[in-house]
Structure 1
Amino acid sequence: MSDSQQTEYDPGPDSSALEPAQDTELARGLRDEIDSHDRDLSGFHLLHDGLSAFVARAALVREASISLDLKYYIYSDDTSGRILTGLLLQAADRGVRVRLLVDDLGTRVANPRILALESHPRIQIRVFNPVEGRSGLRRGLEQLLNFGRINHRMHNKLLVCDGNVAITGGRNIADGYFSKAETEFLDVDIITVGAVVGDASKTFDDYWNSEVAIPVTELAFTNDQTCSLEELREQVGEYLAGARQSEFTRALEKSDLAEKLKTGAIEFHWGKGTLFADPPRKAIDRASVPVSEYPGARLEKILRQCERKVRITNAYLIPGVPGVDLFSALQNANVQVDILTNALATNDVAVVHGAYSRYRKPLLRSGVNLWELRPMAEQKQRLHWFKGKSRASLHAKTFVLDDDRAFVGSINLDSRSIIQNTEIGVLIENPQINRQLDELFDTWTGPDAAWQLSLNKRENIRWTAAGEDGEQVVEKRDPETRWWQRLLARLLSRLPIESQI
C-alpha cells in the first residue's frame, strides 16, 4: 500500500473542548488564585520529581468533574499506565467526558481493553497518523511502504482537566518517567492554570479534529481481540485493588496535592505564558507550514534575544552546523551557554549519541560548557519506597533564559523534533520558575551527577567528575562504557542519517 493508496479513514464527528468547570471543588479552589491576577497571565508549578509528576496526573484525573483531554506519544500498558487507565474509566463512569489521543508509533494500540474502553459512551480514543495493520508482518510492511508519511510523529505530552488545569512537559505515560523502572528518566513537567490552559485546549482540539487523528474503532483488529466494557470494569477493579501496595498507589494515597489544589494551597508562580505547538498538519504536509511557526524556530528567536546566559537540559542533542553557529554567536555576544545532555552510558538511542558526538569538540571550542549525565545520577534523592538501583537517563527538555524566563516542553535539539515531529512546550516569563530550573541544572550537573567535558592542549576530550571518595576523576574516553559501545557509537556517527534522528 503506497502513500497514494493508503486506506481512507473516517475521522468521525468533530468535537471541541467543553466550557471550563465553574462550580466544582477544584474550580472553586483555583478561582481566588486565578481571579487575583490579570486574565492574560498564567500560574506555573514545576514538577521535576517523577513520583510527584505521576501523582499530579492521577490526582487531576480523580478530581475531574467535566472533562479530561490527554494526548501522549507513549501511553504504556504498565503499572502507571493501567492505574491511570483505571482512573479514566472511573472518571467516565461518574460523567466526565474523556478524550485520549495517542501516537501510533509510540503507543501500540493492539490491546482489546482499548476497544472496550472506547465503547464507553463518555470515552473517545483516537490514534495519530496510523497505519492500518495493528501487529505482525502486515504492520511492518505498511510502515515500510508508508515511511514518507509515518515518519512524522506526534511527540506531544499534554493533559487538560476540566478546562482549568493543564500539565505539559517531557514525560510520557510509562513507569520509567515516574521513577519505577530499570531506567529512570530524569524529566520536567509544568502544572499551569490561567490563560495558557485555554490555549492548550485549543491546541488539543486542533489535533483531535485533524484528518490524521483516526478513531481507534476504524483500525483493524482481529475478531478474537474482544473484551466487554463490564469485563473491563471488573479487570480494572481487580487491578486497582491489587495495585494498592504499588509505589504509585501508595504515593497517591499519601499525597495531599489534590486537596491543596481544591483549597488553593498550591504555590503557583505567575507571569506571561506562551504555548508553542506545531500545527498537526505539519505531520502530513510540512511544506504548507511556514518554518517560522515551528516551535523550534520560535525558540531559536528567543535564544538570540538572551543577554546573559542560556542553560539547556536536553536529552537528544544533535545541534548540526546551524546549532553550533547559534551557540557560538551567543558566546561571542558574551552570553554563556551551558548544556547538559546524555552520555554514551545514559543515552537510550546509540545512533543519537553517535551523531551528537561529532559536535562535542566544536561546541567546546566555541566556549560552551558541556556536561553529560552519569548513569547513577540522583540516586541519593530517590524516595524511600523506591528501593534498589536504576540507571539514570536524561529525558528533560528545558531552557533557562537569562534570569527571568524559562521554557519547558517536549522539544529535543535534533532534526527529528524540530523538523519531522510535532512538538509542544511553554515559554514562561517568571523569575521564580527560572530560578528553580537554574538550581535543578546545578544539581544535575554536579560532579556526582554528571561528567564535565573539556579539551586538553591536544584538543582531546577529557571527562571530569567526582569519584566515590569525592576526589576528582578524569577519564580519557566515554566514561562507564565498554569498548563495543564506543565502537558502535563511532560507526553510527558516520551514517548520513542526521536529518532522521
Structure 2
Amino acid sequence: MTTSLKPATDSRLAEGIRDAAIGKSDKLSGFYLLDDGLSAFVARAVLIEEATVSLDLKYYIYEDDSVGRLLTSLLLKAADRGVRVRLLVDDLGTRVVNPWILALDRHPNMQIRVFNPVEGRSGVKRALEQAINLGRINHRMHNKLLVADGLAMITGGRNIADGYFSKSSVEFLDVDVLAIGEVLPQSGQVFDDYWNSVVSVSVSELLIADDETHNLEELRKRTRKLLDDEAGSEFTRALEQSKMAAELANGDIPFRWGKARLLADPPEKALGKDDIPREEYPGFQLEEIIRDSKERLNISAAYFIPGVIGTDLFTGLEKRGVSVGILTNSLSSNDVAIVHGAYARYRKKLLQAGVDLWELRTVAGEERRKKWFRGESKATLHAKTFVMDHQLGFVGSINLDGRSLLWNTEIGLLMENTQVNQQLHELFTDWVAPDSAWAVKLSDSDKLEWHAEDEDGNPIVEHKDPETTLWQRSLSWLLSWLPVESQI
C-alpha cells in the first residue's frame, strides 16, 4: 500500500503555482482548459518534465504508439531523476502484454498496476475468463487523471493514444482541464483509493512473458533512440515551441479561479457492490445539478443514450424554459453502431419537446488539423462537457449512457467560474457550427432532417443519416432492438 507524497515546495513548478495563486483564497482552485490535442499533449509532457517528487497517472487506454511511447520515455526519465511514478491502467482498455512493462515496473521509482484484470493475458484463456466472470469484468475504469507533485492535475476525456492528440486517421474532438489549488488533495485521495483497491493488481503478478533482454538499461537505450527519432516530429515541435513550461514556472498561465469538486466513482463500483449509495455516483450528482438549471444547458457526449429518465429530464427542462442543446456523434462519426441505434430511438421525442440536437460531421475541425499534420483524418466526438447556466462547467470522462452511469468508474471536474463556463459554451458553439455538425430537425411532416453547410456556406439538407450506407443504417436500426441499453 502506498499513498500520495507531500507536494513539492522548492521546485520551479511549486514556485510558479504559488505565484499564480497570489491573492487567491486557499479555498479556490485554478482552471485552464486544454481544447486541442497538441496543447493537451504539451501540458502532460511539461508536467512530467517539471515534476520533482511524484507523478500519479491512471488511464483507461494507454497505447504503445507515438504518444504513449513519448510519454513513457518522459516518465522513465522522471523516475531516473528520483521522481516516484505510479501508473494505473484498465485491463480491457489497455492490453498489458508488452514485456518492457515489467522492466519499467522493476525500476525502483516506478510502479505499474492494472485495474480489474482478466486472468489470461491473451488467447482462449482470456476469452474464457471474460465469459465466466462477465459480471466483474463488465466494470471498467474509464478514468483519466494525471497528478504532478501534488500541485497540478489534468483530467478530462483524453486517453493516451495518438488519436486523442491530433495524430491519427481518426481524430477525437476532446477537452481536458489543467487544475491547481484546493482541488489537488481531492485528486490525490481519489488516486490513492484506486491504487490501493483490491482490484488493482501489480503487473508483476500478471502473466507477461519475461526474459533478460528486456531490462532497464536496454529500455533506456530504446528511449534515447525514440527521442532522437522523434526529433522534428509534430509533437516535438509543439513541445519545443510551447511556452507552457516557462509560463507555469513564472505563474503566467491564465488560470480562472473558483470553487471545484472532483466527482469520481468509488473503485468499489468495479465489484458491483449493491450497497454503494447512488448519491456517490458522479452521474447521479450531475443529474441533480442539471435539474437545477435555470436558463441553459449545453452537453457534448460521445455516446448519448438518454433513456426514459434522461428524455424526461431534458424535455422537462425545456418545458420550464431552459434552453437545452446536445451534441453527440452522427452515425458516420460514431464508432459503435449499437450505441447510435439506441440513441436514435429518442431523437424525435427530444426534438418535439424543443431540445436542440446536433450530430458531429466527419469533416469537423479539418482546417485546424491540417495546420500541424499532413493528410486527412476523420473527426469523431469524444468530449464529455456540460455547461449549466452561466456559472457552472463540467469536464470529465462521463458519457450519458448506461455504461458510464451504471458500470464503468468515471471522473470529472465540476467548476464554478463564469469565464470557464463561457469558454466551454464557445467551444460547444464552435463544434455545432454548420460546417462542423449536422443540426437534426423535424420537417413539416414530422420527419427527421439533417441541416448543415458546405465549405462555401451553401445550405445542405439530408433526409437520412448523412454520409452513411444503407448497410450502416440497417445495421444500426437492427441493433437498436436488442434489449441491452443499460450495457452500452
Q: Quick check: TM above 0.5?
A: yes
- Which residue does the alignment assign to 2:400? 413
The answer to whether 1:196 aligns with 2:183 is: yes
The answer to whether 1:76 aligns with 2:55 is: no
Q: Provide the secondary structure at the position in 2 that maps to 1:244.
A: coil
What is the CA-CA distance between 1:472 and the residue it aligns to? Answer: 0.8
What is the CA-CA distance between 1:383 and the residue it aligns to? Answer: 5.5
- Which residue does the alignment assign to 1:209? 196
Question: Out of 442, 460, 464, which is 2:447 matched to?
Answer: 460
Question: Out of 9, 14, 27, which is 1:40 matched to?
Answer: 27
Question: Out of 67, 76, 85, which is 2:72 matched to?
Answer: 85
After superposition, give the CA deviation of every residue in 1:68-100 in whole Å (9 maximum; x if it has no partner). Answer: 000000000000000000000000000000000
The amino acid across from 2:427 in the alignment is: L
- Which residue does the alignment assign to 2:430? 443
Q: Provide the secondary structure at the position in 1 that maps to 2:446.
A: coil
Q: Which structure 2 residues correspond to residues 112-123 of structure 1 after superposition, within 5 A?
A: 112-123=99-110
Question: Out of 415, 419, 427, which is 1:432 matched to?
Answer: 419
The amino acid across from 1:352 in the alignment is: V
What is the CA-CA distance between 1:224 and the residue it aligns to? Answer: 5.2
Question: Out of 306, 331, 337, which is 2:293 matched to?
Answer: 306
User: Is the contact between residue 51 and residue 251 of structure 1 (CA under 8 Å) also seen in structure 2?
Assistant: yes
User: Is the contact between residue 112 and residue 225 of structure 1 (CA under 8 Å) also seen in structure 2?
Assistant: no
Question: Out of 373, 377, 380, which is 2:364 matched to?
Answer: 377
- State the identity as a percent: 60
Q: Which of 277-286 and 171-180 deviates more?
A: 277-286
Question: Out of 156, 159, 176, which is 1:169 matched to?
Answer: 156
What is the CA-CA distance between 1:223 and the residue it aligns to? Answer: 4.6
Q: Which structure 2 residues correspond to residues 384-399 of structure 1 after superposition, within 5 A?
A: 384-399=371-386
- Which residue does the alignment assign to 2:130? 143
What is the CA-CA distance between 1:245 and the residue it aligns to? Answer: 2.3
Question: Out of 360, 368, 390, which is 1:403 matched to?
Answer: 390
TM-score normalised by structure 1 residue count: 0.96
- Which residue does the alignment assign to 1:4? none
Cα distance, 1:462–1:426 mapped onto 2, change above 3 Å: same
- Let me know the Cα RMSD of the aligned residues: 1.0
User: Is the contact between residue 48 and residue 189 of structure 1 (CA under 8 Å) also seen in structure 2?
Assistant: yes
User: Is the contact between residue 43 and residue 268 of structure 1 (CA under 8 Å) also seen in structure 2?
Assistant: yes
Q: Provide the secondary structure at the position in 2 that maps to 1:22.
A: coil
User: Is the contact between residue 99 and residue 209 of structure 2 (CA under 8 Å) also seen in structure 1?
Assistant: no
The answer to whether 1:235 aligns with 2:222 is: yes
The answer to whether 1:488 aligns with 2:479 is: no
Q: 4+ residue runs of structure 1 moved beyond 6 angstroms?
A: none
**Equivalents in 1 of 2:338, 2:177: separation in Å?**
30
- Which residue does the alignment assign to 1:156? 143
- Which residue does the alignment assign to 2:319? 332
User: Is the contact between residue 172 and residue 382 of structure 2 (CA under 8 Å) also seen in structure 1?
Assistant: yes
User: Is the contact between residue 4 and residue 192 of structure 2 (CA under 8 Å) also seen in structure 1?
Assistant: yes
After superposition, give the CA deviation of every residue in 1:417-452 in whole Å (9 maximum; x if it has no partner). Answer: 001010000110000000001111111000000000
Q: Which of 75-84 and 26-35 deviates more?
A: 26-35
- Which residue does the alignment assign to 2:3? 16
The amino acid across from 1:79 in the alignment is: S
Q: Provide the secondary structure at the position in 2 that maps to 1:446.
A: coil
What is the CA-CA distance between 1:226 and the residue it aligns to? Answer: 5.6
What is the CA-CA distance between 1:250 and the residue it aligns to? Answer: 1.6
**Equivalents in 1 of 2:165, 2:255: separation in Å?**
22
Q: Provide the secondary structure at the position in 1 that maps to 2:372.
A: coil
Q: Provide the secondary structure at the position in 1 that maps to 2:455.
A: coil
- Which residue does the alignment assign to 1:6? none
What is the CA-CA distance between 1:384 and the residue it aligns to? Answer: 2.2
After superposition, give the CA deviation of every residue in 1:381-418 in whole Å (9 maximum; x if it has no partner). Answer: 22623121100000000001101110100000000000
Q: Which structure 2 residues correspond to residues 245-256 of structure 1 after superposition, within 5 A?
A: 245-256=232-243
**Equivalents in 2 of 1:497, 1:225: separation in Å?**
47
What is the CA-CA distance between 1:469 and the residue it aligns to? Answer: 2.7
What is the CA-CA distance between 1:221 and the residue it aligns to? Answer: 1.9
User: Is the contact between residue 154 and residue 421 of structure 1 (CA under 8 Å) also seen in structure 2?
Assistant: yes
- Which residue does the alignment assign to 2:266? 279
Q: Provide the secondary structure at the position in 2 that maps to 1:273.
A: strand
**Equivalents in 2 of 1:31, 1:315: separation in Å?**
36
The answer to whether 1:471 aligns with 2:450 is: no
**Equivalents in 2 of 1:268, 1:383: separation in Å?**
29
User: Is the contact between residue 341 and residue 394 of structure 1 (CA under 8 Å) also seen in structure 2?
Assistant: yes
Q: Provide the secondary structure at the position in 2 that maps to 1:288.
A: coil
What is the CA-CA distance between 1:222 and the residue it aligns to? Answer: 3.1
What is the CA-CA distance between 1:288 and the residue it aligns to? Answer: 2.0
User: Is the contact between residue 297 and residue 386 of structure 2 (CA under 8 Å) also seen in structure 1?
Assistant: yes
**Equivalents in 1 of 2:150, 2:106: separation in Å?**
24
User: Is the contact between residue 51 and residue 178 of structure 1 (CA under 8 Å) also seen in structure 2?
Assistant: yes
User: Is the contact between residue 61 and residue 161 of structure 1 (CA under 8 Å) also seen in structure 2?
Assistant: yes
What is the CA-CA distance between 1:362 and the residue it aligns to? Answer: 1.2
The amino acid across from 2:193 in the alignment is: D
Q: Provide the secondary structure at the position in 2 that maps to 1:102.
A: strand
